Chain A
Amino acid sequence: MTENRTIPAPHIEEETRPFWDGIRDGKLLVKYCRTCEAPHYYPRSLCPHCGSEDTYFKESDGRAHIYSFSVFHAAPIPYAIAYVTLAGTDISMMTNIVNCDFDSLEIGQEVKVCFVETEGEGPPVPMFEPA
Chain B
Amino acid sequence: MSIAGFEVEVERGTGLETEQMTLNMGPQHPSTHGVLRFVIKADGEVMRRAVPDVGYLHRSIEKISEKVGYHGFMPYTDRVDYVAAMFCNQGWGMVTEKLADIEVPKRGEYCRVIAAELNRIASHLLSVGTMILDIGAITPFFHSFREREKINDLLEELCGARLTYNYMRIGGVAWDLPPGYEEKVLGFLGQLEPMLDEFHDLVTENTLFRGRCSNVAAIPGEQAVAYNLVGPNLRASGVRYDVRRDEPYSVYPELEFDVPVGTGAAGSVGDSFDRYAVRIAEIKESMKILRQCFRQIPDGPVVAKVPRKLKPPEGDAQIRVESARGDMSWYAVSDGTEFPYRCKVRTGSFAAMSIIEDISPGLMLADLVTVIASLDIVAPEVDR
Q: Do A and B bind each other?
A: no
| A interface residues with partner B (beta carbon < 8 Å) | none
Q: Could you list which residues of chain B lie within 8 angstroms of chain A, going by C-beta atoms? A: none
